[in-house]
Structure 1
Amino acid sequence: MILAKILSSYTFRAALATVLGISIVVLIVMLAVYSLFSYNYFNGVHDGLSTELERFSDAYEQGGLPFANHFIDQRSQQFHVVHFAYVIADQDLEKISGNLKDWPEYREYGDGWLNFEMGILQDGNSSREQDFVAVTQLMQDGNHLLVARSDVEVLAYVSFVTGILFRGFLVTVILGAVAAFIVTWEFQRRLDNINRSIKTIMAGDLSARLKISQLPRDEGSELQQLAINLNIMLDRIQDLMDGVKQVSDNIAHDLRTPLTRLRNDLVSFQKDCSTHEFDRVETLIAEADDMLATFNALLRIARIELGETKAEKISLALDKLIEDVVELYEPLALEKGIRLQLELYPTECVADRNLLFQACANIVDNAIKYTPQGGNVQVSLSQGDQCDFDDHLDGSNNKEASVTFSVLDSGCGIDQSNYKKVLRRFYREESSRSLQPGNGLGLSLVAAVAKMHDFQLIFKPNDPGLQVHLHMQG
């Protein structure tokens, strides 16, 4: 997977394109070097042949055939890296003397890229055809002189140089591709770290920050500067969010006391009022109780999120706690004609009993509240390895030690795009506002309790209705 990600990344493709561009430039330079080398080298071969022919013709002109034969013997006995062949022939190109058996078969040089006045000859002494580079000269007496040099040595040297240039080009491409891969892998690794941190922040943890490498070689890098700027932006966002929460918490705290006094005054006034006024005051007391409950819930959420409420975690019988929750809401379910199913098994978990009871109660309360008459609500406990939503969990691999509290209803459900929104304070779907009264804090409290205990809160559609799963460690 990481290989496919690297190969498909823009960074790798851009680096590879750069390497290919550089390689093409290197290839052009190498071809230019090769052409220059070939020209100079073959020009040197031609000059060498011309010089040797000039010496050979001088010997022939000075002393005729004896001097020419002596020259051939003398040159053949001398140790040279380059060996020449000599032939003296008459007007009909019949051999008179020389170290080749016959005047070689002559043909024009076929490779047009070599612009030298040379010929290619075939050695009649060899059973196989052998190429020579040769030059000839017609003497005053009508005889022909020929000096030749084997082309194998020349071509072998050129082939050697060509191989070096080709291997150099190939090494450039391979090393460039490897370097591009390594650079992309390192860049992708750091980018994945940034993306993981961003996903954590997007999931709701505004306290998370991008990790900035402290290695000296990273100091001042573009990614480091990007991480620093993002962290500064996140600090600012968190300050603003904390400010909004603090304002709402302060309002709730400041209004709770006068609202409590108002309720107490209404209770006192109710004792002295008439029957007609008694019902109206009773309604006002109920509304005051709802407002106090909202403020208390808001303050409780704030204390949990700020860490002011310390979880008194103990090992408790989870099945017994769920039974108490269901027993509390069973009369409400019977009143609405809702079939309340309970599937439990004895299990324990470590949690704050009061907070966990409140969270589970809020989930069951919502299920019953938004399920129409005659509907179904199923409350169950299941082991982690029996759940069919492992891909929704946040990475807990200890299935043997995990337990899931699930509530499934047949109500109106929640739109999947709003799963995260319903965890916000005071958020309610428009479709649910007209169905039941509420303040939009129930699931916010559940989310705060789940975060405090490192539980996972998961929503899934139930068709119809909603599935709510609270995944916790047993």
Structure 2
Amino acid sequence: MTSIRRRLALALCLGLGVLLLLGLGGLYWGLRGALVHQLDETLLAIAHDLEADLRRGETPMIDSAPPHSRDPRRGQRYFFQIADHEGKVLHAQGLADTAYFSPRPERRGGPVFGDIVLPQGEPGRALLLMAKSVSTAGGPLRIVVATDREALAHVLGTLVVGISVLGVALIAAIVAFVLWALRRELRPIDRLAGEAAAIDARSLDRRFRLDGLPAELRPIALRLNDLLARLEESFARERRVSSDLAHELRTPLAELRVLAESALKWPDTRDPESDRDVLAIATHMDALLSRMLLIARSEEGRIALTLETVAVDALVREVWSRLEERAQARGIVPSVAWTPLPASADRVLLRSVITNLLENAVDYTAQGGALTIAFQVENPATAVVVITNAVADLSPDEVPRMFERYWRKDAARGSGAHFGLGLALTQRFCVAMGWSIQAEMPQPGLLAMRVRGPLAAPGR
């Protein structure tokens, strides 16, 4: 499993380690260059001294520096060779006096510096200087000054050891610091993980603490808290659904049990009305389960749609014709402004939506109450159907709960005509068609159900 902590630790250690190695390497080569330059400057000073001896007509020679002096030549062996332009050795000390001795050149302008192998087979450093102030008929004399590299190699070896030890110590310190810093800076993530691990279905009321969280984690914690709030609401709704479902099934099952016990106890007095009661109870339970299955299918997106142009006003007129007698019995006369309203919808689902809304309006409107149906166009590509009816016992706080499954006013629980599933199913059907439904109370005692959908294009 990929670990952010491990990947960060590896990346930081590798990155800082490479930078450290580059820095120590640069330090080594810088110090080495400085030491070699100091040695070259010493060789050049000796060459100038030898040139001065030649100008004065003295025998050239190299004076040894006292071991404890500050002269760069202390403890160092130096050799020289002076030859004419033909390579004839005129003066020499420690170098071959029978042939011209020249280093492998590393040009730096005037003098030539280079690494050589001394006659004793030791590695050395040498300088070639053309003494223009002292010349023969054929040209200037050539002065070669050399020294062994033993002291330089010793210093460089000590430097390598010191830098290596320093590098190992710094790498260990880097690793320790990176691990400590990651453990410290990733502590909020560990805290979030611990809080998340403590949350289960029984503790959805918990929330992630925002105090002490860095700016990068606060949005995540906020989104998680929002998710927990939605989960808590969803679980509470499911618990209410289970409770309401048990309530819905308990009454008909109890009735069936009473009828069955009565039939077993008094078989000779069996009343045919009991069979009709059993059939009615079974029909009621079948309708309830059918509504539940429709809601489940709509939530899973398993409803087949056939979108077409539907004359919404004609569909409303058709549905109302079947409810008109029931409405007249309750003294309800609708106020309708019949306006053509073509919309894109599934005819079967839209009929179910309109039927459920009009049935609710007829059944829950007070005796002789007002009922209004309006057809509107918005935006200008949205078809709107507004069904408004008078309600006596509904508060604005209860309106958002109307689309919850099994929600009904307590006074209506005793009625078998409604299950509390109609509006939930209506909302699912609207969503499946790409429509929307909204419940609102424009004024106290008046409920408006507003259904919106795409207006059909002309000519369709």
TM-score (norm: length of structure 2): 0.42
Higher helix share: 1
